[in-house]
């Protein structure tokens, strides 16, 4: 099962009644996959966290649950599941392809749309 996370606020695409800006996806057994948005200068976890910590930003999962920036960062950084089993990288191969990269902290990103 996977869960997508979105940011809402006063920026293009962040309207409360809209889809929101895709932050990324948590999928069972795998590491969090971040969505890179070069047009918003959101291509690293540091960039994303600066953006998400703004007071007017709301983080919400696709099922409607709201998260704090700290909770979102913890989910993104998780490397083991609740039983202590290591989470798999989302893209074992493919970083050499356009649209996929890891930032300087090793966080996985995709500039292509996914859900």
Write the pLDDT tens digit of every residue in 52-111.
999 999 999 999 999 999 999 999 999 888 888 888 887 655 556 678 888 999 899 988
Residue 15 banded pLDDT, cuts 50, 70, 90: confident
In DSSP terms, which residues pair with 3 in a beta bridge? Answer: 26
Helices 45-52 and 69-77: crossing angle in degrees, nearest 10, is 160
Per-residue burial over 46-58, b = 16 or more CB atoms within 10 Å of its CB, e = otherwise: eebeebbeeeebe
Alpha-carbon span 100 to 80, nearest angstrom: 22
């Amino acid at each position: 099962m996977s869960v997508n996370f979105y940011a809402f606020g006063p920026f293009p695409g962040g309207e409360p009644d809209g889809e929101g800006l895709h932050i990324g996806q948590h999928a069972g057994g795998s590491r969090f996959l971040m969505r890179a948005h070069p047009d918003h200068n959101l291509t690293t976890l540091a960039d994303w966290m600066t953006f998400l910590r703004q007071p007017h930003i709301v983080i919400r999962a696709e099922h409607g649950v709201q998260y704090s920036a700290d909770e979102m960062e913890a989910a993104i950084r998780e490397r083991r599941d609740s039983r202590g089993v290591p989470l798999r990288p989302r893209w074992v191969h493919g970083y050499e392809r356009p649209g996929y990269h890891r930032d300087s902290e090793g966080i996985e990103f995709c500039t292509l749309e996914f859900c």
